[in-house]
Amino acid sequence: MPIEFRKEYFADERDDNLNEIGKPTQRQDMLGHVTGRSPFYDDHLFDGLCHIRCVRSPHHHARVRRIDVSEAERVPGVRRVILARDVPHNLNTLLSLMDFGLDDEPMLTPEGAEVRYRGEPVAAIVADTERIAREAVAKVRVDYEVLPHVLDVEEAVKPGAVAVNPAYPANKFVYHGKYDHQKLRYGDVEAGFRQADRVIEGRYQMSPIEQAPIETCGAIAAPETNDRYVCYTSTQALFFSLGTAAKLLDISSARLHLIGGTVGGGFGGKVDSIHEPLAILGTVLTGRPCKAMFDREEEMQVGAPRGAERWYITDGVMNDGTLVARKFVGYFDAGAYTRLSSYAIIKGVGHLPGPYTIPNVYADVYCVFTNRTPATAMRGFGVTGVDFAIESHMDVVADELGLDPIEMRIKNAYRDGDMKAHRRLAKNTALVECCQVAAEKAGWPLSAEARAASSLTGGGGARGEMPAFTALDEHGRVSGYESGSYAQGDRPRGEAAGSGAQGRSGSGTPSGQPSPRPRAEPPRAPQPTRVEPTRAEPARAEPQWSDPYAGRPSAPAGTAPASPRPERSPAPDAGPDGTAPRRGPRFASISGLRRR
């Protein structure tokens, strides 16, 4: 279907005399694509290429008692069996590269430690052919002590639930060193619910979605001149892969030459940097070029999907369809490890309450660890799931009120100059016009009033003001975490004790087991006088503060802190690559991430 430009809208906001924008242009890589010459990572041939295949846990959750590789090592053509003890720095979290989150995931699970999802690797075989590698994988004997597992987000956050990830013993990611969830507070939703004609709740669930690129994830590494290693990779995030490989392998990134650029379909699923460290380590240990790649089954089963989400939405609404309060309780299923789920929630909460101007908004969103495949990025992750919930709920609310769902959207849509719940003024808004065009295309009748509405009018004024009062609370407050303690470099190097620690660098190195943190529990506080109108939360204290920030930005979800944060105390040791840890306000880098 040809694209239709509706240039009658916002004509004065746009120049139409631009050379490139608004004009069709050819892809720079199209000629390579149609001639089969675009260089994908697997198109780099090496004589004597070795193949790496992983031994994977068949259990959702188990303790690895013993790994017996003796039979596998005797298979002719097997060059090396890689175990956790071969990984110099066997603990990482992807976003540690921007100081966000605790290291929580080993590259390979050592003996004595736990596997936390089905398919988690415990060993890797380097062999002359893929077939030999597969045969040797089948000959590795792993003695597992099967442990109870948890696969549901709300089960996982109940007291007494199976602890999935020792970095976060309560199965909840800790935000900003303070809370076991990401908060958004704007106005007072309880007051909004009291004022509303109707309070309407909904529950929405989205399943994990596999990105399913046609090219499976992988990397090929080989020795290069000057004591370097070259690595051709399918990565979508070359510098994540570079930094992650350097960290896990305790090797200067200057010695790693990563080459990417042509990705055979990514959709977010090629950022996790799983294969680059493994392929390079295989090359380091054997001196041979090594390829690590998912086969199709691994891509679907082990490759990190878009995570599952569960949302509870409660709307306070007037009989004419005006939304006066909206409350979210969300649970992202991160699977066993953080990867990018923590960031997805920052982004998602920044997006609430959807493209609508609502004076009272509240959100508690949890990044929950379960024994499922770790989740990661996929096309608008963090936003698509909650948009599905929001727009479904808009339809439900309109239906309950007997209103036209498109007109209800137009009524509540952001107008230019409105204050958004994350405390930025709305500009260049266009939902009203989108609704009008969609209705026109669908032959959906709209009232004259809805047809006459515009994003340019009706906004601002009182709608552009901050709420006079914002109800704050301390629920979900955790202790034992410091906002400045996220980076690996903050921790004494030898702190993570455990089996298998045999770092080549000589210093005590993490062994694939995050060090347990104090159990995060919300502080108990007197029951507030107010009663929560929804059932989303177990009876949990929500003390009302005398609010010093009421009426002005208070470091809400997804925005840079508005108030100065305490500098963290000096780190006791150097970072993994020997550099001094960076100082400064924490989390600022997340805004950098958001710019991607």
Question: What is the binding site for other proteins (CB under 8 A)?
Answer: 1-3, 24, 26-27, 29-36, 38, 40, 42-43, 45, 130-131, 134-135, 137-138, 211-216, 262-267, 295-297
The CB-of-308 to other proteins minimum distance in angstroms stands at 17
Is the Cβ–Cβ distance between 474 and 546 less than 8 Å?
A: no
The CB-of-36 to other proteins minimum distance in angstroms stands at 3
The CB-of-383 to other proteins minimum distance in angstroms stands at 20
The CB-of-442 to other proteins minimum distance in angstroms stands at 20
Is the Cβ–Cβ distance between 357 and 418 less than 8 Å?
A: yes
Which residues have a Cβ under 8 Å from the Cβ of 147 and sit 6 or more positions away?
A: 59, 61, 62, 63, 114, 162
Is the Cβ–Cβ distance between 132 and 112 less than 8 Å?
A: no
Q: In this structure, what DSSP letter does residue 293 have?
A: E
Is the Cβ–Cβ distance between 508 and 501 less than 8 Å?
A: yes
Of 88 and 269, nearer to other proteins (C-beta) is: 269
Q: Is 57 strand, coil or helix?
A: coil
Is the Cβ–Cβ distance between 357 and 453 less than 8 Å?
A: no
Q: Of 62, 50, 186, which is closest to residue 465 (Cα–Cα)? A: 186
Of 338 and 384, nearer to other proteins (C-beta) is: 384
Token pair listed for 306: 């878009």
CA dihedral over 319, 322, 328, 333, signed as positive or negative: positive
Of 267 and 444, nearer to other proteins (C-beta) is: 267
The CB-of-39 to other proteins minimum distance in angstroms stands at 8
Q: What is the DSSP string of 465-513?
A: SPPS------TTB--S--TT--SGGGS-TT-S--TT---TTSS----S-
Is the Cβ–Cβ distance between 514 and 167 less than 8 Å?
A: yes
Q: What angle do CA 258, 260, 265 make, to 5 degrees?
A: 145
Of 43 and 145, nearer to other proteins (C-beta) is: 43
Of 49 and 456, nearer to other proteins (C-beta) is: 49
The CB-of-46 to other proteins minimum distance in angstroms stands at 10
Of 138 and 525, nearer to other proteins (C-beta) is: 138
Is the Cβ–Cβ distance between 394 and 409 less than 8 Å?
A: yes
The CB-of-297 to other proteins minimum distance in angstroms stands at 8
Of 125 and 245, nearer to other proteins (C-beta) is: 125
Of 262 and 502, nearer to other proteins (C-beta) is: 262
The CB-of-412 to other proteins minimum distance in angstroms stands at 31
